[in-house]
Chains A and B, each alone.
Chain A
Amino acid sequence: MRQVLEEYRGLIKKRSIVMVALAIMLLSLTLFSISIGSMSLSLGKVVEVLTFIFLPSSRRMDPSLVRIIINLRLPRIIMAIIAGACLGIAGTILQVILRNPLASPYTIGVTSSAAFGAALAIILGAGIIGWMGKNIIYMNPYVVVFNAFTFSAMCSIIVAFLSLYKGTSPSATILAGIAMTYLFSAATSLLQYFGTTEQIAALVFWVFGDLGKAEWLDVSITSCIFLITLPLIMWLTGDYNALISSDEVAESLGVNVRTVRIISLIMASLLTATPIAFIGTISFIGLLAPHIARLVIGLDYRYLVPTSALIGAILLLAADTAGRTVLSPLILPVGILTAFMGVPLFLYLLLKRREGYL
């Protein structure tokens, strides 16, 4: 008996070590990412500037350097971290509540409805908060953001209701999500058909997730959503563990399966819709992060949720850092990078693993 407990403690210790290692990795990647760009800095300089920003002292600092870091690099990098974490967690909880290792924010239609909302604003000029006119040069980005967010929220509410109607069975939810994806894609194509070349170009530009769009306000709102949903999701992790096997087993262990599914569906939509509304669609992070996290930490959701947040953040930041360096000074949108990096990584994981879903 002693021995079993010792072994279990060993397992927990190993997991903590993995999580700390990931956190260190994220931190070093962050510092590295701050250091590169049109004006490249040494790591020592980065630390110096950061201490100057966060712990103001009497030391003098080159103001243009401080401005570059505060206004250009930090919002982009922090947005990469927060958005990656949001998408990683969203994918993880969707995969367990839908009991499907291929589920991701795409599966429930959140991304295509966001694109539709953006298209509505960019092509028809119709915004939920105000009309913005046909001239895209004077476009207020927040009209697009609000539209994208509202339509993804609407889509997930529809999916939640359709699934509730069928007793929240995983397959019903996935089918509802796929139906919504097709509906919104078709509607977006219809809008594109009537759009001018510039409008379509602007829409395509929006659809490639691009972290360069991120402003401090966007970063703060996304962080708020992340910080509000995280405790609730962590509180549900015990229920997720019980849900791994089947609804029947979860219920017999005292889980209110319907409630957990609906709450999680809403949390996952919020965690996806918010970053996507600000930076555009980003593929693969929500699918890939949970798979890698399960590989390194195991299946206990109390550890899996924070780990997939860390891995989502690392993946997105790595992709964006790569996008800023490979063709520098040209910056590639991160959405394209994640797809290119994601596909081979995902195929590798699929082929390498014999078992192990959820």
Chain B
Amino acid sequence: MILRVAGVCFRYGSLPVLKDVTFEVNKGEVVCILGPNGSGKTTLLRCINRLLRPYKGSVLVNERDVISLKRGEIAKIFGYVPQIEENRFPLTVFEAVMLGRKPHMGWRPSKRDFKAVSDILRDLDLEGLAMRKVSELSGGEWRKVIMARALAQEPEVLLLDEPTNHLDLKHQVEVLSLVRTLAKKKGLCVIMAMHDINLALRFSDKVIVISEGRIVFSGKVSELSPSIVERVYGIKVEVLHDGNGIPIIIPAI
């Protein structure tokens, strides 16, 4: 599985948002996308699974253009966790995660669908909540359910838009570790938009920094230099090193 984003340009009406975005993600790689608010991270993720259509450029999965795929096929390839999902409804957690089986499922869930859902509920430690209604969950619990739904799609590419939003310290680490393990074990491509730079760097192989819709840095985690961060976010930073070659970037106050 290789995902290639080639020269993607996108605009909302006349407002250009993405300008010639090009990068590649290989099997088993975790890539984080950093960038200030409004830089185009969400838009990029939505162009990748064709929720939005770029006016130029293309997204290729194993050299196949996603434009040529049907919605159902796209849903088998891409699992998507949106940045916010406001509408909370009284479906049980079990049923909400079962929605993720939609692309694979016939009219009624099969043994395999049940197994997939219960495995994911176990992996994300959601078993205790399985029969609770989604409308009665805390913000973080709901976030995990959305993650579980995306994993239930058994996708080849995971698109995560700020997956650690609303999660406490422990769950942030747990969810990202799980994602990383899955990427390594099952060869998933993971692309995640993040705001917590240090958390993102810890769990990623590659970093892409975008600013005003353009890629300004793309490379290994250890290569990210403080000057890029300073330029993009417009504040002074200091860098500490934790010994594993992963920089720790903190604002200089």
Q: A-side interface residues toward B, CB under 8 Å?
A: 1, 3-5, 7-8, 11, 99, 234-235, 237-238, 241-242, 244-246, 248-249, 251-256, 294, 298-300, 302, 355-358
Which of the segments B98-106, B162-170, B181-189, B196-204 contacts the partner chain? B98-106
Give residues 87-129 of B contacting A (CB, 8 Å).
Answer: 87-92, 94-95, 99-100, 102-103, 105, 107-108, 114, 118-119, 121-122, 127
Contact among A5, A11, A246, A252 with B75 in the assembled complex (CB-CB below 8 Å): A252
Identity of the chain A residue whose Cβ is nearest the Cβ of B46 in the assembled complex: A248
Contact among A99, A235, A253 with B102 in the assembled complex (CB-CB below 8 Å): A253
Identity of the chain B residue whose Cβ is nearest the Cβ of A10 in the assembled complex: B131
* B71 and A299 contacting across the interface, CB-CB below 8 Å: no
* A8 and B94 contacting across the interface, CB-CB below 8 Å: yes
* A7 and B87 contacting across the interface, CB-CB below 8 Å: no
B51 at the interface (CB under 8 A from A): yes
Identity of the chain A residue whose Cβ is nearest the Cβ of B136 in the assembled complex: A355
B72 at the interface (CB under 8 A from A): yes
Residues in A with CB closer than 8 Å to B119 are: 1
> A252 with B78: in contact, given A1-B122, A7-B130, A298-B90 (CB under 8 Å)?
yes
* A1 and B118 contacting across the interface, CB-CB below 8 Å: yes
B85 at the interface (CB under 8 A from A): yes
- Bin the interface of chain B by size: 35 or more
B80 at the interface (CB under 8 A from A): yes
* B102 and A249 contacting across the interface, CB-CB below 8 Å: no
* A355 and B90 contacting across the interface, CB-CB below 8 Å: yes
* A299 and B127 contacting across the interface, CB-CB below 8 Å: no
B173 at the interface (CB under 8 A from A): no
* A299 and B75 contacting across the interface, CB-CB below 8 Å: no
* B122 and A302 contacting across the interface, CB-CB below 8 Å: no
Q: How far is the CA of A300 from the CA of B127 in the complex (A)?
A: 20
Q: B-side interface residues toward A, CB under 8 Å?
A: 46, 49, 51, 71-76, 78, 80, 82, 85-92, 94-95, 99-100, 102-103, 105, 107-108, 114, 118-119, 121-122, 127, 130-131, 135, 153
Given contacts A1-B127, A242-B102, A355-B90, 18 further A-B contacts (CB under 8 A): A4-B127, A8-B130, A238-B102, A241-B102, A245-B87, A246-B82, A248-B46, A248-B51, A248-B82, A252-B78, A253-B100, A253-B102, A254-B72, A254-B76, A298-B90, A300-B91, A300-B95, A356-B89
Tell me the minimal C-beta distance from B10 to chain A in angstroms. Answer: 16
Residues in B with CB closer than 8 Å to A235 are: 107
Contact among A3, A238, A242, A249 with B85 in the assembled complex (CB-CB below 8 Å): A249
Contact among B46, B85, B107 with A245 in the assembled complex (CB-CB below 8 Å): B85
Contact among B92, B94, B107, B131 with A238 in the assembled complex (CB-CB below 8 Å): B107
* B76 and A252 contacting across the interface, CB-CB below 8 Å: no
> A299 with B89: in contact, given A7-B130, A254-B102 (CB under 8 Å)?
yes
* B118 and A238 contacting across the interface, CB-CB below 8 Å: no
Q: How far is the CA of A355 from the CA of B90 in the complex (A)?
A: 8
Residues in A with CB closer than 8 Å to B86 are: 246
Q: How far is the CA of A256 from the CA of B72 in the complex (A)?
A: 8
Residues in B with CB closer than 8 Å to A3 are: 127
* B75 and A253 contacting across the interface, CB-CB below 8 Å: yes
* A4 and B121 contacting across the interface, CB-CB below 8 Å: yes
- 28 inter-chain pairs at a CB distance below 8 angstroms, sorted by A residue, are A1-B118, A1-B119, A3-B127, A4-B94, A5-B114, A8-B114, A8-B130, A238-B102, A241-B91, A241-B102, A245-B87, A246-B86, A248-B82, A249-B80, A251-B51, A252-B51, A252-B82, A253-B75, A253-B100, A254-B75, A254-B76, A298-B91, A298-B95, A299-B95, A300-B91, A300-B95, A302-B107, A355-B90
* B51 and A355 contacting across the interface, CB-CB below 8 Å: no
Tell me the minimal C-beta distance from B99 to chain A in angstroms. Answer: 6
Q: How far is the CA of A17 from the CA of B233 in the complex (A)?
A: 59
Q: How far is the CA of A249 from the CA of B83 in the complex (A)?
A: 11
Residues in A with CB closer than 8 Å to B72 are: 254
Tell me the minimal C-beta distance from A340 to chain B in angstroms. Answer: 29
Q: How far is the CA of A103 from the CA of B95 in the complex (A)?
A: 24
Residues in B with CB closer than 8 Å to A4 are: 94, 118, 121, 127, 130
* A299 and B91 contacting across the interface, CB-CB below 8 Å: yes
Residues in B with CB closer than 8 Å to A251 are: 51, 71
Tell me the minimal C-beta distance from A108 to chain B in angstroms. Answer: 22
Tell me the minimal C-beta distance from B182 to chain A in angstroms. Answer: 18
Residues in A with CB closer than 8 Å to B80 are: 249, 252
* B105 and A356 contacting across the interface, CB-CB below 8 Å: no
Residues in B with CB closer than 8 Å to A358 are: 89
Residues in B with CB closer than 8 Å to A252 are: 49, 51, 75, 78, 80, 82
Residues in B with CB closer than 8 Å to A356 are: 89-90, 135
Residues in A with CB closer than 8 Å to B103 are: 253-254
Q: How far is the CA of A161 from the CA of B35 in the complex (A)?
A: 40
> A242 with B99: in contact, given A1-B122, A4-B121 (CB under 8 Å)?
yes
Identity of the chain B residue whose Cβ is nearest the Cβ of A239 in the assembled complex: B102
Identity of the chain A residue whose Cβ is nearest the Cβ of B100 in the assembled complex: A253
Q: How far is the CA of A237 from the CA of B86 in the complex (A)?
A: 22
Contact among B71, B87, B114 with A254 in the assembled complex (CB-CB below 8 Å): B71
Tell me the minimal C-beta distance from B253 to chain A in angstroms. Answer: 38
